[in-house]
Amino acid sequence: MYSIIIPLSWFLHIILCFYLIRPLQIVLHRALLTLIPCFILILVSCHNLPYFHMSSIISISLYWMITIRLIQLIIFSPNEIHSFRIYAFKFLWFFIPIVPCQSKNSISFYLFSASIKMLLYHWIFQWLSNCEPNDSYGRLMMFYINICTGTFLNDIQIVLVRLLTLNKYSLLEFNNYPFLSKSIREFWGRRYNRLVGTLLKEAIFDPVRRLPYSSSTIGALASFIMSGLLHAHVAVAGFGASSPLPSFLFFLLQAIACWVEIMCPFTPPKLLGILLTHGFLLITAPLYVGLFTRAGPEFYRFNKPLLFDATWFPKLPVPNFCPK
């Protein structure tokens, strides 16, 4: 019964926001009536979630993403959407982020990409699961590669959507070669986790920077603060972290780095920019990514990837040493 009440409560709140709260003229009233139920629902929905399960992390993220979308559509831009169908699609987009197909890559490319990524993902997953948990830079780098290759499911979904729509539509690519990022702004704004990045741009960055006396810098800071709150909650409710501050600090440092890049009087060469960007990400990664690398064998036991136990799927030999 509890598992049914939670999604129904969110669904009801989304409907009430559109029909009853959105028409209110006073922004403060819209904000209070939107956010107070959201935060109550987040606390109730994320109470006693099992630690180290990706399902818990996804659930927490989804509840925050719903809240962020409501901030956009009900508080900042209540007159942007007049049709409930379009309003509902803004939330369904989290599950099926359909976009017009503009990729120059063929369907065969995505099939090949998915196969290689899955092979590498299984290999790194097996390798890290055999090693003692730690947040050494070697392990953090391997986990970063693991995150990038873990998007093989996204590639498979892209193939299915393009086949079903005859190449008219595709899915938003989760990543856009983040290892090529020449700056922190490029990494977070255009290359890594484009699903959440797109949401934050539409719901927080753009509305905040359009406010009186605001700017793009303030909009970016607000976006990183919101992302920091989301991930801080993931740390506590999804991993049982004793404090949310390190995770929040990680995203605050990213915001500061973006500001430093803006203020910097010169742009470094491409290769140097890539090295500086990933050097900074690696140094700060233990604050948040360390939650995953320090999680231990239970994290890998609970989150086996697709076809991991399939005997017919090829396996790469696992090294007999651990990344340091």
- Please write down the HEC assignment for all residues of the chain: CHHHHHHHHHHHHHHHHHHHHCCCCCHHHHHHHHHHHHHHHHHHHCCCCCCCCHHHHHHHHHHHHHHHHHHHHHHHCCCCCCCHHHHHHHHHCCCCCEEECCCCCCHHHHHHHHHHHHHHHHHHHHHHHCCCCCCCHHHHHHHHHHHHHCCHHHHHHHHHHHHHCCCCEEECCCCCCHHHCCCHHHHHHHHCCHHHHHHHHHHHHHHHHCCCCCCHHHHHHHHHHHHHHHHHHHHHHHHCCCCCHHHHHHHHHHHHHHHHHHHCCCCCCHHHHHHHHHHHHHHHHHHCCHHHHCCCHHHHHHCCCCCCCCCCCCCCCCCCCCCC
Identify the bridge partners of residue 171 per DSSP, sorted by sequence position: 98
Q: Note whether 134 and 153 are within 8 A (CB).
A: no
Query: Rounded to whole angstroms, how far apart are CA atoms 30 and 17?
Result: 9
Q: How far is CA 153 from CA 17, 116, 230, 307, in A?
A: 33, 12, 23, 11
Those residues whose C-beta lies under 8 Å from the C-beta of residue 192, and which sit 6 or more positions away, are: 175, 176, 178, 181
Task: List, for residues 215-249, the tens digit of each pLDDT value.
Answer: 999 999 999 999 999 999 999 999 999 999 999 99
Taking alpha carbons only, the member of 195, 260, 193 closest to residue 221 is 260
Give yes or no for residue 81 having a pLDDT over 90: no
Residue 1 has pLDDT above 70, yes or no: no
Structure tokens at 228: 């920091």
How many CB atoms are closer than 10 A to CB 104?
5
pLDDT value of residue 323: 84
- Give residue-wise pLDDT tens across range 48-80: 999 999 999 999 999 999 999 999 999 999 998
Residues 127 and 142 sit within 8 Å (Cβ to Cβ): yes
* Structure tokens belonging to residue 48: 């006693």
Torsion sign, CA atoms 290, 296, 299, 305: positive
* pTM reported for the whole predicted model: 0.95
State the CB neighbour count (10 A cutoff) for residue 176: 14
272: which residues sit within 8 A by CB, 6+ positions away? none
How far is 299 from 51, CA to CA, in rounded Å?
9
| Domain boundaries of the chain, sorted by first residue | 1-95
Tokens 């693991």 identify what position?
146
CA 57 from centroid of its chain's CA atoms: 10
pLDDT tens by residue, 156-187: 999 999 999 999 999 999 999 999 999 999 99
pLDDT, tens digit (0-9, with 9 covering 90-100), for 263-292: 988 889 999 999 999 999 999 999 999 999
Inform me whether the pLDDT recorded for 254 exceeds 70: yes
